[in-house]
Amino acid sequence: MSLISAIGHNGANGHRDSKSRFMISATFQSSRNFLSKKSSLMASFRTLIVMQPTPFCNIDCGYCYLPNRSSNHKMEMDVLGKIVMEVFSSKLVSPPIDFLWHLGEPLAVPISFYEQAFSIIHQIGQDRGAEYSLSFQTNAMLINQNWIELIKNNKINIGVSIDGPDFIHDRKRVDRKSNGTHAQVMKGVKMLQDANIPFSTIMVVTKNSLDYPDEICDFFIKNGIDEIGFNIDEVEGSNHSTSFDNVDSIKFRHFIQRMLKRSVESNGQFRVREFWLNIRPFTTDVTEPFNTTNAPFRIFNFDCHGNYSTYCPELLAAKSEEYNNFNLGNIVKDGLDAIERNPTFLRMKDEIDKGVENCKNSCEYWSFCGGGAPSNKFFENGSFSTTETLACKYQKKEVVDLLASHFEQQLSVQYSK
């Protein structure tokens, strides 16, 4: 029996091997270098409130899923205040809460916008005794000293989007004139580092990236960037194609093998989200995996007009006549708790729950995945009730198989001594 079969499946025929899990835990310390500082996962679970200050983005990435990124509309403060009031008072929102500014370039609005916004959040949060945090997902190109001061004064968590070295990054992450943006991104990164502001990064991996695993590792290590997450370029929203349609699985396997090897050897200088995120089921009996994207109300997404959705943020920018473009209400007109009675939400939930159950009953990777992301299923397969997607295949199954092989080798070494 493989290690995955022994510990990963929780369906009708599943078998859980606590001995395997104990043995892995006993040898776990030898592999801690590829873990994140945030790898105590249960402690990091928060209700995510995704806020769109504006749909506008100052660049034009080739794989972007947002359809209205030329619009410069800004969220009005009365809309923002209503969102914050509802979030802090709703029975559907469990603390702690993270306000993530995203779905466009958050730094494309003036600093004065956030000074007002944070004042509203802080005041209402203090009145309610709320536990919350603030986050930006940014391309870092607009960072200057004023932004640095705002970030530090408000203890904002930072995620930076950067696709590795310039010759990879500049293929897809270009400005409105199709010029590469890497040099400007790195200026922003340097300012964050000089100010001792910690940040994580997300790299979108394309078929082209798979030829350069060592160059990617070298870039991140050389530039002192130690927290990396890899997303594949996915079919979602206004992005209707993916380079992973015809990727050779062997090539991808080699890519992540190199990533894991370099991560383990890096002495903590190169920690990859896809590795530490999938550690827990190897060491703990996971009967109900925690997947923030396919259970309602773990994520709420608000566009700049106050329209909202739950589940994956990517759905907020999507078009679907069947699901009313995934608009599940407006915060000003409906309030937040009305989502429970929304007929579109109820149809979505029924189909998403079916998809999760189908995954649970058919996939031995259930403990690692928890049923996948609804947005991937909808955009790739046309239905929430389906199972495998490209993200599932490459970012879960291939990665988990690699980790299982790694731990099996570690166990073999331990028992041969």
* pLDDT tens digits, 204-230: 999 999 999 999 999 999 999 999 999
358: how many CB neighbours lie within 10 A of its CB? 17
Q: What does the block give as tokens for 110?
A: 């003036």
- Tell me the residue range of the domain where 68 lies: 32-283
- Residue type at 53? P
Round to whole Å and give the CA distance between 139 and 131.
27
Q: How many domains does the chain have?
A: 1
Total residue count of the chain as it appears in this document: 417
Indicate whether 221 belongs to any domain.
yes
Q: At residue 147, does pLDDT exceed 90? A: yes
pLDDT at 6: 54
Per-residue pLDDT for 294 more than 60? yes
* Contacts for 120 with CB less than 8 Å, ≥ 6 apart: 77, 80, 81, 84
Q: Is 319 left (phi over 0), alpha (psi -120 to 50) or beta?
A: beta
Kindly state whether residue 58 falls inside one of the protein's structural domains: yes
Judged by phi (left if over 0) then psi (alpha if -120 to 50, else beta), residue 237 lies in left
Place of tokens 């205040």: 81
Residue 175 maps to a domain: yes
Rounded average pLDDT over 141-160: 98
Amino acid at 205: V
pLDDT tens readout for residues 244-289: 988 989 999 999 999 999 999 998 899 999 998 888 888 777 778 8
| 3-class SS of residue 263 | helix
Residue 29 predicted with pLDDT over 60: no
pLDDT at 238: 87
32-73 tens-digit pLDDT = 555 555 544 444 578 999 999 999 999 999 999 998 899 999
DSSP per-residue codes, 152-164: HHTT-EEEEE--S
Here the tokens at position 62 are 């080739």
Q: What single string gives the DSSP state of each residue in 37-68? A: TT--HHHH--EEEEE-S-S--SB--TT---S-
Rounded mean pLDDT, 13-33: 49
Q: Model-level pTM?
A: 0.91
CB of 139 within 8 A of CB of 106?
Answer: no
C-alpha dist (Å) from residue 74 to 85, 95, 238: 19, 27, 21
Give me the chain's average pLDDT, please. 90
More confident residue, 4 or 298: 298
pLDDT on residue 43: 44
- Which stretch of 27-41, 53-67, 290-304, 342-356 has the lowest confidence by average pLDDT? 27-41
pLDDT band, residue 20 (cuts 50/70/90) = low
Does residue 199 lie in a domain region? yes
User: Does 414 score more than 90 pLDDT?
Assistant: no
d(CA 161, CA 231): 11
Say how far apart CA 162 and CA 138 lie, in whole Å: 9
Residue 415 belongs to a domain = no
Q: Average of pLDDT values for 185-193?
A: 98
- Indicate whether 160 belongs to any domain: yes
| CATH code, domain with 119 | 3.20.20.70
For residue 161, the model assigns a pLDDT of 98
Residue type, 281: P
Q: Mind listing the pLDDT tens digit for each residue in 109-132?
A: 999 999 999 999 999 999 999 999
Q: Does 104 map to a domain?
A: yes
The b-or-e profile of 154-165 (16+ CB within 10 A means b, else e) is eebbbbbbbbbb
Instruction: Name the percent of the chain lying above pLDDT 90.
Output: 78
Q: So what's the pLDDT on residue 45?
A: 76
* Rounded Cα distance, 59 and 69, in Å: 9
Per-residue pLDDT at 48: 97
